Each structure stands twice: as C-alpha cells, then as structure tokens.
C-alpha cells in the first residue's frame, strides 16, 4: 500500500483518547491555527464577542434553516465589517462536503491575507465538531500542503473534534489526490 493512502481507522485513532473515546469541545471556540478559529453557533451569533476577538471573516459551514444548520447570512453581519461566506453542508456520512473544499480554502486564504495579513477567520458549524474542522483541515492540506495526518493532528491538538466518517473518507481521498499530484510537502 503506497504511503499516501490513509485509512479511516488511522484518522479515527488520532481523534480518540487511549480508551477509544471521542471528546466534546470544552469551549465555544478555539484558535486551531494562527488566526483561524473553529467554534460553534453560540459564538457565531455573538457579534460583539466576535468583534472583540478581531474576527474579520466568518465561514459558516452549516448555512441553512433546519435544526442541523445555523441561520446566519451576510445580512446577519451587515452592521459589522465582517465578510461572510456560507456553505450549506449537512453533518451526515453521505453528504459530499468535498465539493466545497476549494471554495472554503479560497475564502480562508482571502481572510488570512486581508489587511496585509491581519485578518482573522471564524469557521463554524452548529457545534464546531465535524463540518467546520473538516473545512479547516482541507484548507491546511490544500493551501499549507500538509498531509491529512498533520492537518488533522494540528486542529485536534487545539480543539476536540470528530468529523463524521464520510467527511474523514473525503479527506483521505483529498490526501491521496494531493500526494499523487505532488502537492503535499510534509509527507
């Protein structure tokens, strides 16, 4: 098996403790990479707190009206200078979040280069546990050229996360594609 092929089990092992248990996030948000924050809906709807934190961009990985989604939009943040992007992802194993990897990575990159590299982005979903960390991991792979192990471990080191198995499989496929194309620098 080529070294760039990653299994679902290997990624789940990185997400669980020594007893095989997943942990729930201990705070509403965490800075998981310089100027990239991952968190939940509570923080996403607290405009004053976001401004105090210096957030310039918001990526809602759960845009929509159902129980699984967060009903914010550019209009929600209209009174602020925050730049908004919404992705209508569902947190289910069969949802293809990979179709949003490039769009999300582009938006995160745009946020980080904003104001001569002083931008800060808040990437959220309902709980900040599956959808939003998946998009940040994809960004780290696509724009920072990290392999999936490294990207997942960096995010997991800062925040308790648990992308669903479907999302993890899609990250494995991204890893395989980027490795085949020679786009991962830290294999």
Q: Which domain holds residue 89?
A: 8-16+29-180
What global pTM score does this model have? 0.93
User: Distance between CA 132 and CA 40 in Å, rounded?
Assistant: 9
Which of 85, 125, 169, 172 is flagged as catalytic?
125
Give residue 1's pLDDT. 35
User: Distance between CA 101 and CA 99 in Å, rounded?
Assistant: 6
Residue 187 falls inside a structural domain = no
Give the CATH number, domain containing residue 134.
3.90.190.10
Instruction: Find the range with the poorest average confidence among 37-41, 75-79, 83-87, 116-120.
Output: 75-79
Residue 155 falls inside a structural domain = yes
**Does 172 participate in catalysis according to the annotation?**
no
Nearest to 15 by CA among 171, 143, 168: 168
Q: How many domains does the chain have?
A: 1
pLDDT per residue over 148-166, tens digit each?
A: 999 999 999 999 999 999 9
Confidence of residue 68 (pLDDT cuts 50, 70, 90): confident
- Calculate mean pLDDT across residues 165-176: 96
Query: Looking at per-residue confidence, does 97 or 72 come out higher?
Result: 97
Nearest to 139 by CA among 87, 65, 90, 94: 87
Give residue 5's pLDDT. 65
Confidence of residue 2 (pLDDT cuts 50, 70, 90): very low
Spatial contact of 58 and 86, defined as CB atoms under 8 Å apart: no
Query: Looking at per-residue confidence, does 65 or 93 come out higher?
Result: 93
């Amino acid at each position: 098996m080529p070294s760039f092929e990653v299994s679902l089990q290997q990624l789940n092992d990185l997400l669980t403790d020594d007893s095989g248990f997943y942990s729930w996030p201990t705070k509403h948000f965490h800075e998981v990479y310089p100027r990239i924050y991952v968190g939940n809906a509570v923080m996403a709807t607290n405009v004053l707190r976001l401004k105090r934190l210096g957030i310039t961009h918001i990526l809602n990985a759960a845009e929509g009206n159902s129980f699984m989604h967060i009903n914010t939009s550019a209009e929600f943040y209209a009174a602020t200078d925050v730049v908004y992007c919404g992705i209508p992802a569902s947190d289910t194993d069969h949802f293809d979040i990979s179709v949003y990897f490039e769009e999300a990575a582009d938006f995160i990159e745009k946020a980080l280069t904003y104001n001569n590299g002083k931008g800060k982005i808040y990437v959220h979903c309902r709980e900040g546990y599956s959808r939003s960390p998946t998009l940040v991991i994809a960004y780290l792979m696509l724009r920072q050229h990290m392999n999936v192990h490294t990207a997942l471990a960096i995010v997991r080191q800062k925040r308790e996360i648990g992308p669903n198995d479907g999302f993890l499989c899609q990250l494995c496929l991204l890893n395989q594609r980027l490795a085949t194309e020679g786009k991962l620098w830290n294999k």
